[in-house]
Amino acid sequence: MTLHIETPLVESRAMSAITGRSVWLKLDALQPPGSFKIRGIGYACETYIARGARRFVSSSGGNAGLAVAYAGRRLGVPVTVVVPETTTERAKALLHLENAKVIVHGASWQEANAFAQSLIGESDAFLHPFDDPLLWQGHATLIDEVFRFGLKPDAVILSVGGGGLMSGVVEGLHRNGWNDVPVFAVETTGAASFHAAVKAGHTIELEQITSIATSLGAKRVCEKAFQWSKNHPIQSVVVSDQSALTACERFLDDHRILVEPACGASLAVAYENAPELKDFSNILVVVCGGATSTIDQIRKWGRG
């Protein structure tokens, strides 16, 4: 038994009508901790236990930390999550709900991450939010499920933060013989580290994250994600914060599921019938989820 669940794959009639093509949704927002992260993190946690780990340490106040906390509770392993001072009270409450020990340290994820690394003892396992081959292997199960369903998409749309989801999805495409299926890698303006890497020809660190889509807020995308851009058809797409927020509200109306702006970014590509989609008729959108947003927060951001 795995820690993640097999999530529904459904056609969005609303998006299909807007775009004039079939738009399919892989609803990973319905994973127990609220996002796709449990696929890779759950697999990594089980692997680390088999190697003798007796505690999990994480450095994310968002979806990755929640996935580690959920996995630890389910597996009976204590979890310590170091979060930056910017972490919301809601996120901390959700971590406590999963019985995690929460330590607040530093002004940014980078500082929290450095402190988390300093805590690691001999029998501890550190769970990186996005840069670990075990994570990519676990995330690839999302495509395995689409393959078993019998739907081969013409293109896949997904959001990119640190690049863990994209690395896993492309790995999944390759292990199912779908090497030819292009990926649209979507980010918001102000959090576009993958776009910057593609433009520069190598990974570079953004000076700061200015987008409200903080789950996309990795200043540097992982090297694996950038390598895949050389070995797989991947197109970078950047949308505005406002587009992502509007997509969140529309998605809640259309599908009765609340997602965070990081997920709204990829939904915006379909809702706005982006010109990049013109050559495709059967599109898969990864609804990656996000547990820490509320509709009040999304509306507040939308009002500026």
Q: Is the pLDDT of residue 193 over 90?
A: yes
Q: Indicate whether this model's pTM tops 0.75.
A: yes
> Which CATH code is given to the segment(s) 9-36+134-303?
3.40.50.1100
Closest CA to 33 of 90, 95, 84: 95
Residue 183 dihedral angles phi and psi, to the nearest 5°: -120, 135
pLDDT bucket at 235, cuts 50 / 70 / 90: very high
Q: What are the residue boundaries of the structural domains of the chain, listed by start?
A: 9-36+134-303, 38-130
Q: Which whole number is the average pLDDT over 277-282?
A: 95
Q: Do domains 9-36+134-303 and 38-130 have the same CATH topology?
A: yes
Q: Is the pLDDT of residue 303 over 90?
A: no
- Widest distance between CA atoms in the chain: 56
Contacts of 59 (CB under 8 A, 6+ apart): 65, 81, 82, 83, 109, 112, 113, 115, 116, 117, 129
What is the rounded average pLDDT for all residues in the chain? Answer: 95
Tokens, residue 108: 């940014």
Return the higher-pLDDT residue of 76 and 1. 76
Helix, strand, coil % over all residues of the chain, rounded to 5: 45, 15, 35
**CATH class in words for 38-130:** alpha beta
Helices (H), 119-274: 133-139, 141-149, 164-175, 193-200, 223-231, 241-255, 261-271
Q: Which whole number is the average pLDDT over 113-134?
A: 95
- d(C-alpha 286, C-alpha 293), whole Å: 18
Helices (H), the chain: 13-19, 37-50, 63-75, 89-97, 109-118, 133-139, 141-149, 164-175, 193-200, 223-231, 241-255, 261-271, 295-303
pLDDT at 65: 95
236-262 pLDDT per residue, tens:
999 999 999 999 999 999 999 999 999
DSSP state of 23: E
pLDDT bucket at 229, cuts 50 / 70 / 90: very high
